[in-house]
Each structure stands twice: as structure tokens, then as C-alpha cells.
Amino acid sequence: LAKRMKKSLEKKVNKSTLNEENIKDTLQEIRLALLEADVNNEVVKELISRIKDKALGGYIEEGANANQQLIKIVHDELQSILGQDKKGLDLNKKPSVIMMVGLQGSGKTTTANKLAYLLKKKEGKKPLLVGLDIYRPGAIDQLKELGEQTGIEVFEKGKQDPVKTAKQAIDYANENGYDTIILDTAGRLQIDEQLMDELNELRKTTSPSEILLVVDGMIGQEIIEVTNAFNKLLKLTGVVVTKLDGDARGGATLSIAYMTNLPIKFIGEGEKVNALAPFYPKRMADRILGMGDIETLFERAMESIDERSIEKTMKRMFMGQYDLEDLRNQLAQTARIGNLSGIMKMMPGLNGQISEKQIAEAQRKLVIFSILMDSMTIKERREPKLLKSLKRKDRIIKGSGRSEKELNELLNNFDKGRKQVLDMTKKFKKGGMNAFGKGKLP
Ligand code: GDP
Ligand code: MG
């Protein structure tokens, strides 16, 4: 996924202008790459539509850095689906019970041991593993072997009823100073009622602080159905996605995060005992995109001054299409270029002589105007007449923390400027003279 996405992004969006037409191929590539990585179709649709909105909505400045900006958009959208921060475990109770559940072969037993090891090593916990899979031949022996490797005690009562064993394990933990109890429960190939009943009994008896669903990151679309089924019955507190080793596709995490709204708490990245890592949304977004260095790229994209954007606004003005989005782009450019007086001479309604003091005052205004415009939707900026609505105005005022007076000032200035622009272009078209006064176009 990573390589393919990166390649397609780099190839398709080079120096040209972003528009519906030439972004189409890129979006199609991203779409295919995501689908191939087993990301759920709904998630893919949502992602593509968000990326498209941002790419076409004026968030991207044209120019040589468009690809970097598009990568940044894709990254942001991936991350906004994956979540902002890592989500830890709630282990405040003494002892805390962590219940591992999931289908057979998903990695419950392996993960239970990895987790015990991690908690012991990183958080100084004293964990107790409890073998409750009485159905799968050799399951308890497997847990005991793993526990031996990590030096973690395993509590088990052979084929005794799991609910009873779990109760005894809690007593045992209390008596022997274990602070964390990890229940390794049985799985099935498919979800069945009998198993669910047993898990539910276990849940009621042990009141777990955490009920973690362990899912195999490679099982594909089924992953959502499985997660929802377990969650419905057990009220999961989180998900562990296993088998995301090496360059495995991370698409499953996207599907789970978007379709189930459950926090992913860990990912399994191999069979070894230390191959369990907290889930960092940002890292996963990086991984899906396949670049560790996205910030640097982004910084460079933002630092670069993009002259073509100014050109574009000029062209639009010329065609009588000047709106708030254009004004906003101009202001963004102004801020980046840092040379206000030069720009101000190009701004509609401001051509003429300006003193330093006026420039400073204008600078302040522009900041306020930018804040106000940031609180508008792209649609409102493209169709400023929508802003006649008091409800919209109210929302913008509240959202920006500015005053009604300032908003009206912005809108009045914009109206005046726009009229002037239209006037000038009309004159220019008629008389063939330079609408911007003397000399060549700025
Ligand atoms: P359970 O039936 O849910 O208890 O699953 P197990 O813990 O027995 O794991 C099933 C198989 O998956 C074992 O061979 C594990 O070694 C393997 N496994 C579990 N987690 C991972 C992982 O993150 N990466 C890889 N490569 N294998 C894993
Ligand atoms: Mg097992």
C-alpha cells in the first residue's frame, strides 16, 4: 500500500494545477491501494471524499509542492480516522482484570503473554496469566510454555469450568500480591452462542477493567463483523490487532477505527514476546503512507512560496470570479511572503499610497479577516451571498471569537473590492488598457 500510494502521489501530482480532472487518477490510485490493503469500502469512500474536498477546496496551493501538500492531506485524514493519541489501559483496580477474547487463532494466548511481559517490564506490574481455554487441545500447555519463557506465572485448573477457575484465580492473586490478572479465554472458528454465553459469564464474575478483543489483522473484511459481534455482547474496552509484522498492510486498523469506533490499544508485530507495541495513530498513518519523514516534507511544502497561486487569483479576478476564497488565498500568500505593502498595492480597493502606519493597521485587520474567513465553510467563501443569513453570521462570529462589526467590515470591504475588480476588468476588456493602472500587470 505504502509504496503504491507514494508512487502514485509523486507521479500524478507534479507541477500542474489541481483540478477535478487531473486529481482523478491519483484518487483512483489511492482508492485501489486502500482497497487492496483490505480497508473497508465505506472507509475508502469516506477517505477519498475527504481528500478530494480538501484538495479541491483551496487547501492546496498549486505548484511544485502540490504533491507534498496532497500527501499531507492524505496523512491527516488517515490520522483523523485512526485517532489522535495512543489509548492506554485502565489498570487502577487492585487487582485489575484484563480479559482477552477473540476467534481461534487470532493471537489471544500469544498476546496475553506479550502483554504480561510488557506490563511487567515497562510498568513494573506483577501480572498473573490465567489459562481458561479448556477446549482447544494443548492450549493451556501453550500458555504455560510461553509463561516460562517470560517468567510469568500461569494459573490453571486443567479442564475445570472456566468461570470457577477465574474466580479462584482472583482469590489467588489477592493472596499472593498479583496486581494484574490476564484471562486467556477460549476462541472458536466462528462466533457461536455457547462461547458468547461463557464469555459473558466470565465477564460478570470477574468485572474486568479491560476487555480486549484480539483480531488477526490479515483476515480482511470480516474483521468488522467480528469486532461488532464481540462488542455487542461484551462491551469491549479496546482492540488488539495482531500479525501486522514488518511491512504488513495496516489497513485493518483503519477499518476498525472508522467502522467500530473502538480504540485500538496495541498491535502485534511478530511471534516474539516483545513484538507487541502500543498503537500510535500517527505512526500508523505514517506507516500506511510509507514515510517516516512526513513532517519534514510538510514543513518544506509550507515554507515554499507559491507564486502560481497569486497568478491564479489574478486570472480569476480577470474573469470576474473573485470571491472570499480568493481573498483568503491572497491573505495566506501575503502572510507567507511577509511583504504586505507589495501585496496591498495589488489588493482591490487599496491601490494608492499607503503609509507605514496604515500598513500596520491593515496587517492587524488582515489577521482578523483571516480568522473570520477560517471560520467560514468553503461553500460560504465561494458563495459569499450565503452570508446574508444571520444564522451563518452568528456561527462565524462565535466560531472565530470576533465581533459582528469586524465581520461586517470584512464583508463590506470584500463587496467594495469585488465591485472594483469587476469594474476594472470590464474597463480593461473594453479599452484594452491595463486595468491595474500604469505599467504592466502586477
Ligand atoms: P489464539 O488461538 O487466539 O490463542 O491464538 P494464538 O495466540 O495461539 O496464536 C495463533 C498463531 O498466531 C500462533 O502461531 C502465534 O504465534 C501467531 N501470532 C500471534 N500474534 C502474532 C503476530 O503478531 N505476528 C505473527 N507473525 N504471528 C502471530
Ligand atoms: Mg489460545
Question: At CA 364, angle to CA 337 and CA 345, rounded to 5?
Answer: 50
Quick one: which ligand is closest to 215's CA? 1
Q: Which residues are documented as binding site for GTP?
A: 102-109, 184-188, 242-245
Residue ranges of the annotated binding site are 102-109, 184-188, 242-245
Contact predicate 149/184, CB 8 Å: no
Cα separation, 251 vs 169, in Å, equals: 37
Ligand 1: centre distance to CA 169 (Å) = 24
- Ligand 1 pocket check for 109: Cβ under 6 Å: yes
Name the residue of 99, 101, 109, 110 whose CB sits within 8 Å of the most ligand 1 atoms, as the mutation to test its pocket: 110
* 199 alpha carbon – ligand 2 mean position (Å): 14
Q: Which atom of ligand 1 is nearest to the CA of 276?
A: 23
- pLDDT value of position 160: 96
Question: 399: part of which helix (H) or strand (E)?
Answer: helix 390-400
As a 3-state breakdown, the chain gives helix, strand, coil percent values, each rounded to 5, of 60, 10, 30
Quote the percentage of the chain above a pLDDT of 90: 45
For ligand 1, whether the C-beta of 265 sits within 6 Å is no
Answer yes or no: pTM beyond 0.95. Answer: no
Q: Is the pLDDT of residue 425 over 90?
A: no
Instruction: With cut-offs at 50, 70 and 90, classify the pLDDT of residue 334.
Output: low
Ligand at shortest distance from the CA of 131: 2
What pLDDT digit, counting tens, does each position of 19-62 carry? 676 677 777 777 877 777 778 889 889 999 998 888 776 666 65
Q: How confident is the model at residue 202 (pLDDT cuts 50, 70, 90)?
A: very high
Q: Which is the closest atom of ligand 1 to the Cα of 103?
A: 3
The pLDDT value given to residue 26: 72
> For atom 13 of ligand 1, which residue has the closest CA?
107
More confident residue, 342 or 185: 185
pLDDT of 170 > 90? The answer is yes
pLDDT score recorded for residue 68? 67
How far away, in angstroms, is 147 Cα from ligand 2 center? 13
Residue 7: pLDDT band (50, 70, 90) is low
Check residues 98 and 297 and name the one with the higher pLDDT: 98
Whether 215 shows a pLDDT value over 90: the answer reads: yes
Q: What are the tens digits of pLDDT across the range 350-404?
A: 545 556 677 677 778 877 888 899 899 988 998 999 999 999 999 999 988 899 9
Mean residue pLDDT across the chain = 81
pLDDT for the residue 293: 36
Is the pLDDT score of 247 beyond 50?
A: yes
Q: What is the pLDDT of residue 28?
A: 78
- Length, in residues, of the chain: 442
pLDDT of res. 434 = 43
- Average confidence (pLDDT) over 281-296: 65
Collapsing DSSP to helix, strand or coil, 53 comes out as helix
Atom of ligand 1 nearest to the CA of 244: 23
CA of 272 to the centre of ligand 1 (A): 10
CA 2 to ligand 1 center in whole angstroms: 24
Å from CA of 112 to ligand 2 middle: 9
Cβ contacts of 346 within 8 Å, gap of 6 or more? 436, 442
Banded model confidence at residue 304, pLDDT cuts 50, 70, 90: very low
Range with the poorest average pLDDT among 97-106, 116-125, 186-195, 202-211? 186-195
The finding on whether 102 has its CB within 6 A of some atom of ligand 1 is yes
The CA angle 241-84-95, to the nearest 5 degrees, is 60
pLDDT at 100: 98
ipTM above 0.90, yes or no: yes
At 294 the pLDDT is 37
Atom of ligand 1 minimally distant from the CA of 270: 24
Which domains can be identified in the chain, with CATH numbers?
2-84 (1.20.120.140), 96-279 (3.40.50.300), 307-431 (1.10.260.30)
